[in-house]
Amino acid sequence: MGIESKRQQRFAGVIQQDLAEIFLREGNIWLPGVMITVTRVRITSDLGIARVYLSFLPVKDPQEALEKIRHHANEVRYKLGTRIRNQTKNIPLLEFYVDDSNDYMEHMDKLFEGINKDKQSEDE
């Protein structure tokens, strides 16, 4: 995607904070009993599309939770628009993705634990 400009980073930060508040207040309506965290927001250079990365706790199937959020994307965008309308001319389109970085970190931790166990058994 390339390097983001300061403007993109600042706008992404505003969107991330506002979406976090929206999900904190409204998320229980869309996904009862689920905590929705906005882990990262990436903005295209024209500020037209915001790629929003979400994590869901506790959820067995994050893709299903993501589909429910995508189903309400227009509502989320409208609520975002009411918050940032004085800061921008256009409200960006929202694209939602599951942030699987925690799963990746857990996988890497397990691999390292396995390597360390193998090394310890060799040393003994």
The CATH number covering residue 112 comes to 3.30.300.20
pLDDT in tens, 47-94: 999 999 999 988 888 899 999 999 999 999 999 999 999 888 899 999
Number of domains in the chain: 1
Q: Is residue 97 part of a domain?
A: yes
Give the separation between CA 23 and CA 25, rounded to whole angstroms: 5
Residue 32 falls inside a structural domain: yes
Q: What pTM was computed for the model?
A: 0.79
- The residues, any chain, with a CB within 8 Å of residue 2's CB and separated by 6 or more, are 45
Tens of pLDDT, residue by residue over 71-81, are 999 999 999 99
The C-alpha angle with vertex 13 and arms to 8 and 19, in degrees rounded to 5, equals 120
